[in-house]
Amino acid sequence: MAPAPRFAAPPAGLMAPTAPRFAPSHATTRRPTGDAVLVAAVHDAADISRVDVKLVDVASGAVVSRLDGQSTGHAIAATGGLICLVPTRGNDRAAPVRVLNPATGAVTDIPVATAADGKTSRSSYVFGQVPVTGEYKVLRIHTSTSRDKPSQSCEILTLGGRGQRWRPAPSPPALVGTEIPRHRAVTPGFAHFFTTSKMADHDGIASFDLAKEQWRPSLLQGPLPSEDLHCCRSSLSLVALNGCLVFVHHDYRSCCIDMWVLAELEKGRWLRVQSLPMGSVLRGWEEETQPAPLIPVQRRREIFAQPLMVLDDGRIAFWVGVPNGVVRVYDPKTRKCKDVVGMGRSCSIVGLCKGSHQLGFA
């Protein structure tokens, strides 16, 4: 795969230091050993209204920095070295967008007036960067409550831009999935979503151009045909690996995890880059000899591994959220996996920070 792109510095004036600040973890004094830092949200079991943001060195499993006690009323995302918290509560119209910079420890609140829309039941957010300009943008997708004719509308916010207000953006060309995180991915300059208009169109992908602030008029077709009997929406995911869009299929009948990388967006050309036996990544499949059902029933075995990143030495980091929540690293040389850190059942992965040599952890 192509090497990770070099991200531009945050816009000037965006990251003026304000309290609170990121603190180095007391659990470890180790610095990141590679260029991969994972951003995780760990929910407080004693207080479900609070969440801790942790930065984890994937290569070693060390928690290198953390920011505790954030409100669960925020959507959390990370890209290009910054972490973004966007308020999600409908009655909090004047709540700020909070931007965290792990490199400096700065936390900046950007006051914005959110649009009031009584017809929407939920909103979803993606956070991305335009490589050419270095601008950071937040895309918000509203999904209507109507069951007869559901619809979606969009708004966009440029961090550090003029007025720092939400602006109208075009609606997607087809309904897109916003509720399942693994059904969307953000690559440099683009946000990609599986479509949901028809169950048969599970391989349709809608792409939003962050620079032009427009949806691509035509859907991107996935590498698997819709009539493939080995494929259903629940077994598919989109991920960003080393700046590339990757299509992942858990083929339970063949007991393997297949991955394709998008080689050309305009031509919709995919290249198959990996096909891993499930037993080499997921526990409980080591002795599997018979094909599993299309959607397997969990019987003391793990059923889903989300690729996170490709490390400098070629190893692949996975997130296995069920049953216990663990970061697992697969070594293609030995064809074996190693658990590097357990994050618990109440953890969710919200993004990555590449280029850990730039992160100023104590």
* CATH number of the CATH domain containing 90: 2.120.10.80
Instruction: Name the band, by pLDDT with cuts 50, 70 and 90, for residue 220.
Output: very high
Token representation of residue 217:
């008029």
Q: Is residue 2 part of a domain?
A: no
Q: What is the pLDDT of residue 112?
A: 67
Q: What is the pTM of this model?
A: 0.81
The domain tally of the chain equals 1
Q: What is the pLDDT of residue 163?
A: 63
What is the rounded distance in angstroms from the CA atom of residue 159 to the CA atom of residue 125?
14
Q: Is residue 17 part of a domain?
A: no
Q: Is residue 116 part of a domain?
A: yes
Q: Is residue 7 part of a domain?
A: no
DSSP state, residue 235: G
| pLDDT at residue 185 tops 90 | yes
Nearest Cα to Cα of residue 181 among 81, 10, 39, 339:
39
Q: What is the pLDDT of residue 154?
A: 94
Q: Is residue 242 part of a domain?
A: yes
Q: What is the separation of C-alpha 276 from the centre of its chain, rounded to a whole number of angstroms? A: 22
Condensed to tens digits (0 to 9), the pLDDT of residues 21-70 reads 444 443 333 444 455 688 888 887 777 778 888 888 887 888 888 877 77
Instruction: Name the band, by pLDDT with cuts 50, 70 and 90, for residue 184.
Output: very high
Nearest Cα to Cα of residue 170 among 140, 115, 215:
215
**Does residue 307 have a cis peptide bond before it, meaning omega lies within 30 degrees of 0?**
no
Condensed to tens digits (0 to 9), the pLDDT of residues 312-345 reads 888 898 988 877 788 899 999 998 889 988 887 7
DSSP state, residue 223: S
Condensed to tens digits (0 to 9), the pLDDT of residues 225-282 reads 766 556 677 788 999 988 899 999 998 888 889 999 999 998 889 999 889 998 899 9
Residue 242 CB-density burial (10 A; 0-12 exposed, 13-18 middle, 19+ buried): middle
Q: Is residue 169 part of a domain?
A: yes
Q: Is residue 148 part of a domain?
A: yes
| pLDDT at residue 362 tops 50 | no
85 within 8 A of 100, measured Cβ to Cβ: yes
What is the rounded distance in angstroms from the CA atom of residue 28 to the CA atom of residue 26?
6
Token representation of residue 187:
């690559």
- Which structural domain range is residue 246 located in? 23-358
Q: What is the pLDDT of residue 211?
A: 96
User: What letters, b where the CB count within 10 A reaches 16 and e where it falls short, cover 48-68?
Assistant: eeebbbbbbbbbbbbbbbbbe
What is the rounded distance in angstroms from the CA atom of residue 333 to the CA atom of residue 337?
11
Q: Is residue 326 part of a domain?
A: yes
- Spatial CB neighbours of 339, under 8 Å, sequence gap ≥ 6: 326, 327, 328
Q: Please measure the distance between the N-terminal and C-terminal CA atoms of the chain and give it in whole angstroms.
A: 32
What is the rounded distance in angstroms from the CA atom of residue 357 to the CA atom of residue 31?
9
Strand order across the 236-241 sheet? 236-241, 244-251, 256-264, 269-277
Amino acid in the structure at residue 170: P
Condensed to tens digits (0 to 9), the pLDDT of residues 120-179 reads 467 888 899 999 999 999 998 988 866 677 889 999 989 876 667 888 999 999 889 888
Condensed to tens digits (0 to 9), the pLDDT of residues 56-98 reads 888 788 888 887 777 777 788 888 778 888 877 654 455 778 8
